[in-house]
Amino acid sequence: MIQVESFAEGKWHASKTGNREVRHAVTGEPIANVSSSGLDFNAMLDYGRTVGGPALRRMTFHERGRMLKAIAMYLNDNKKELYRLSGYSGATKRDAWTDIDGGIGTFFIFSSKGRRELPDETFLMDGQLEMTSRNGTFVGHHICVPLEGVAIHINAYNFPCWGMLEKLGPTFLAGMPAIVKPASVTSYITEAVVKLIIKSGLLPDGALQLICGGVGDLLDNVTGQDVVTFTGSATTGLKLRSKDTILRNSVRFNMEADSLNFSMLGPDVSPGTEEFDLFIDEVAKEMSIKTGQRCTAIRRTFIHESNVDAVIEALSTKLASVRVGDPSVEGIEVGPLVSADQVAEVAGAVESLSTAGEVVFSGADAIENSGDGAGAFHPMTLLYCDKPFSSGTPHDVEAFGPVNTIMPYSNLDEAIELAKLGQGSLVGSLVTADADVARTMVLGSASHHGRLMVLDSTSAKESTGHGSPLAHLVHGGPGRAGGGEEMGGVRAVHHYMQRTAIQGSPQVLSSIGNEWYVGADRPESQIHPFKKYFDELSIGETLTTHRRTVTEADVVNFAGVSGDYFYAHMDDIAAKESLFERRVAHGYFVLSAAAGLFVFPNKGPVLANYGLDNLRFTQPVYPGDTIQARLTCKRKTEKEPREEEVLQGVVEWHVDVTNQDDELVATYTILTLVERQS
């Protein structure tokens, strides 16, 4: 018998009283006791705020990203025990892979996002500088800094690993500590993951705490600096969201609730086509993975009325071939539900759904090795509701298991209306070979769904499927789905940060943001900046180059070298009739000539040109004009060291190119790889 422990204030805590018994999903035997009695929840909050928070906030995004990667690698190397424990919950190997490896994968993705898309700073300058005055001496910007509270993550039972890690990734990347509260029925798996993370020694003290059992008065002590996230039923979520402390203190509350997700077969698809087979496979898969216990699983399936019989027959045949039983037995594809209570809940939902339709497939007689009736098994069940607009039941009642209802539509307008009757969902999917059908369906129903997936024969080989949220994309949905949003790459990080508008002079904002802005000081460099190592360069230091007069020969020669004989450069008559009124130099010649003005030719710390951003040609350059460039150090970012590679960093240079009248003719940012001394 496992005594599931909590991790509070840097110590593991095993409760002696108030234990809840957890049973094996297959055999029904007791496997664990769970209780949080004896924990001081307010002290846990204080520990996170005063110990974990400051430690994380001292780290930069890149340091936090490297930390996430190291933890993910450690979990990858020690996940065997997690797979064993997942079997107790009724998970098949495929189910466990989705939960465990999928969860670890989110840490890898957020690590990469943090190191590639966020600065090597403890804060984030969000968006672009806003010019709020005529002469540019009073400007504005937005800065994002970590909240100074604790993120409280209350998670569902179905993904004890992924459900925790997909929230912790952006939380830690943002610089916030977390308290995790898993569902008791699978908390022993979450506990094992947390024990591995703590054992790794890779997290600062106080960054992660765990509550296995009830949360007591935890939510009575939250402040406006805390964040609460919840995954589970809408009823429980509403109760938590309505707590006085959350409302009074304007605590950020993110909710992701179970929803009536849909999948639709396009009217253009008929039996015998590749898209038809893809649709049948996708629906059957979504009813099978985690035994339908996914918040993203397909609950409503829309079929054009001409294809209803064919779909019911094909899907019933497919479901009949799926082996249901004890996941420890070789070849079993679908296991039990997580508990006997869940079986009763799903059975009740099926009974309600049956009042609005008929059961067209049931796998009740096909369950193998069911633990002599003690296992939490429920048959795969397919229903058909022939009048989906006459009854609200299929659009109101969710069976959180391997249950799905087929509904007919006669045209796309009806299909869109059916999609909306779910009152907001996490995901909808469409299988079609017609791009116009996809466009109509997406634009017509996107307002009611957090994610829409369009599947066809082109994307099928690499598709991650209807029910798989990706860390790169937002996960959440409007209305019934909770109105929240998780993941979505860097978007998720913003949920744990405060965005503050700052105003002042360009120099002040440049000093705050550690980045040069137009209008800030540009001290002239006494040494050519390309002769300096990364460490020696200062933000704002500037090189003003010598001048160069553009000749007609330059234009002709550049056309010959580049092959660009555009009429505005080469044809006097056509150029006179153009907006330029006479022949003009190539924009890319101006770019190349500017590089010739500011590049230092000798070998030095500059290793390579890394790229060019935000190029704009603001004024034409004519033969006879004289150009000059100003090169300003805008931002510096250290690169992670690699084996047998010199230490280096990326330097962003702001470049202005002006003509003889000091008019701006081109502006852009170039990036160079520059060697570091240390």
pTM of the model: 0.89
The span from the CA of 466 to the CA of 404, in Å, is 14
Residues in the chain where the model's pLDDT stays below 50: none
- Cβ neighbors of 200 (< 8 A, separation 6 or more) are 70, 71, 74
Strand (E) or helix (H) holding 422? none
Q: According to the model, what pLDDT value does residue 370 have?
A: 58
What tens digit of pLDDT does each residue of 354-401 get?
999 899 998 877 777 655 667 888 889 999 999 999 888 999 999 999
- CA atoms of 119 and 42, how far apart (whole Å): 34
- At 488 the pLDDT is 87
Tens digits of residue pLDDT in 19-33? 888 888 888 888 888
- List of domains in the chain: 39-258+491-498 (3.40.605.10), 261-469 (3.40.309.10), 522-675 (3.10.129.10)
DSSP letter (8 states) at residue 535 = G
- Give the position of tokens 């039996």: 271
**Residue 290 DSSP one-character state:** G
Query: What is the distance between the alpha carbons of residues 53 and 267, in angstroms, rounded to a whole number?
Result: 54
Contact 400, 352 (CB under 8 A): no
For residue 644, what pLDDT is reported?
A: 60
**Angle formed by the axes of helices 187-200 and 80-88, nearest 10°:** 170
Q: Which two tokens stand for residue 588?
A: 């890319």
Distance (Å, rounded) from C-alpha 99 to C-alpha 249? 34
For residues 140 and 133, what is the distance between their CA atoms, to the nearest angstrom? 9
Give per-residue pLDDT as tens, 159-179. Answer: 999 999 999 999 999 999 999
Positions annotated as catalytic residues are: 256, 295
Residue at 490: amino acid letter = V
Exposure on the CB side of residue 424, measured as CA atoms within 13 A? 16
At 641 the pLDDT is 77
CA 413 vs CA 16, 405, 406: distances in Å: 59, 20, 17
Report the length, in residues, of the chain: 678
Mean pLDDT taken over the chain:
91
For every residue of 38-94, DSSP letters joined together read T--HHHHHHHIIIIIHHHHHTS-HHHHHHHHHHHHHHHHHT-HHHHHHHHHTT--HH
Cα separation, 589 vs 616, whole angstroms: 14
Are the beta carbons of 655 and 635 closer than 8 angstroms?
no
From the number of C-beta atoms within 10 Å of its C-beta (0-12, 13-18, 19+), residue 528 rates as middle
Q: Do β-strands 428-431 and 452-455 pair in parallel, antiparallel, or remain unpaired?
A: parallel
Give the angle subtended at the CA of 589 by the CAs of 586 and 590, to the nearest 5°. Answer: 95
The strand pair at 486-487 and 474-475 is best described as antiparallel
The tens digit of pLDDT for each residue in 58-99 reads 999 999 999 999 999 999 999 999 999 988 988 899 999 999
Q: Are 517 and 510 in contact (CB under 8 A)?
A: yes
**CB-count burial class (<10 Å; 0-12, 13-18, 19+) for 192:** buried
